[in-house]
Amino acid sequence: MAANRRINQKRRSAGFNIKPTIIIIGVIGIILTVYIGYRASTSERNLFSVSLVALFAGLLFESFRISDNWKIVIYTFIGTYFVSLLSFLPGKREYVYNFENHIEAWPYYFIFLFSIFTAVTFKDKVTSKVTEGITLLLSISLIYWTIDYGFIYIDHFFVKSLLAIVLIFSVFSIIQALTYFKLSKNVRLTLSIWSSIIVLVFAIDNIISVYQNENIETTEHISQSIYIGLQYFFLGVSVLYITQNYILVAGFLPSRNGEYKKDLKETIKDHLARYSENQIFIGHSIICALYAVTIYSLNYKYQILPRYTMIWLVFMTFPFILRLIELTKKRTTTNNRFEYRNSNENKPNGNHPKIKQYKK
């Protein structure tokens, strides 16, 4: 027994104790954080923006919303924070080191890493189900987006080629939604990839539009500050889903150190798993198409709202419109059944006292 205890003690002592390493990293991180705060406060440049705080607040809010265990989000936050401090290391081609430039870039590294880690951790919850109806709405929205941007008027071979690709895949998704053609694996994979690409296009447009606003701290009116802050906040909320769609698309690109065949199979599996095999009712597809085309046509003519705002507004409102139609239809059917039952009950039957019974 004593010999076994000695052996166990030797094994424990021979093992690697990670605690001192964590303490050292933590101390270095705290010291570096204090120094970052000191340099940012004494610098003549505005190194931190309140807008980025609003963006990260939206990202953190959505992370807590989809998480069943808030401790996982906290641990992800702490781990990402210390990993993001590596951005202060000099780059390979950085011959003149500028600490303030690294301070400006640091929040973007942190937000990017946190969104990646969170999207991977909560992969099943971030990866939402996609149906034929969603792809249909995305395709119609992309057609409106290209027209409103004026790409159809650009006479350039590359632009024309991209528009041809957009038209081919959009028509394919529209035909698929308006028919009961079988949703095979290849069809679902194609529609899933197409949906991810459209989401990324809209996300890039939204990011560019949001960053064209001035910083919150430089605005003159509180209402304007709140409006800009909300744009950054909602952008932060959507960052996880943008990141997940990016991962789904980037999975088809070969990486330097990865196993491409294995990664490709996993990416295809993720696309097939998220795309629903259930076909939608053609009547709903027609309603969706009419609703989207009508709203986008009016906005194109009268410029009521910015294009990206109108696109997200259509995506948010159409499910409620469809739900309202279903409830109205259900209520009408119930009323018709009730009236039919009452009419049958009021009809005279053979047991009525005023009706004589005849026997053969």
**Taking each helix axis from N to C terminus, what angle separates 70-84 and 50-66, rounded to the nearest 10 degrees?**
140
Could you identify the residue written with the tokens 């199979």? 265
Question: Do the domain assignments include residue 313?
Answer: yes
pLDDT at 327: 84
If one counts the domains in the chain, the total is 2
Do 162 and 214 share a structural domain?
yes
User: Where in the sequence is the domain holding 161, given as residue range(s)?
Assistant: 124-331
Contacts of 318 (CB under 8 A, 6+ apart): 137, 288, 291, 292
Do 160 and 113 share a structural domain?
no
Q: Which residues of the chain have pLDDT under 70?
A: 1-16, 333-360
Q: Are 58 and 232 in contact (CB under 8 A)?
A: yes
Do 175 and 111 share a structural domain?
no
Question: Do the domain assignments include residue 5?
Answer: no
Question: Do the domain assignments include residue 145?
Answer: yes
What are the pLDDT digits (tens) for 194-253?
Answer: 999 999 999 999 899 888 888 888 888 898 888 888 889 988 988 999 999 999 999 898
SS3 291: helix
Question: Do the domain assignments include residue 53?
Answer: no
Question: Do the domain assignments include residue 276?
Answer: yes
Q: Cα(80)–Cα(26) distance, rounded to whole angstroms?
A: 13
Question: Do the domain assignments include residue 346?
Answer: no
Q: Are 240 and 59 in contact (CB under 8 A)?
A: yes
User: If we measure between CA atoms, which residue out of 187, 286, 198 comes closest to residue 242?
Assistant: 198
DSSP state of 214: P
Do 158 and 294 share a structural domain?
yes
Do 255 and 114 share a structural domain?
no
Q: Cα(147)–Cα(292) distance, rounded to whole angstroms?
A: 14
Question: Do the domain assignments include residue 2?
Answer: no
Q: Which amino acid is present at 8?
A: N
Do 324 and 221 share a structural domain?
yes
pLDDT at 256: 75
Question: Do the domain assignments include residue 269?
Answer: yes
Do 128 and 117 share a structural domain?
no
Do 301 and 185 share a structural domain?
yes
Do 133 and 23 share a structural domain?
no
pLDDT at 355: 41
Q: Are 178 and 282 in contact (CB under 8 A)?
A: yes
Do 27 and 105 share a structural domain?
yes
Do 225 and 260 share a structural domain?
yes
Do 148 and 262 share a structural domain?
yes
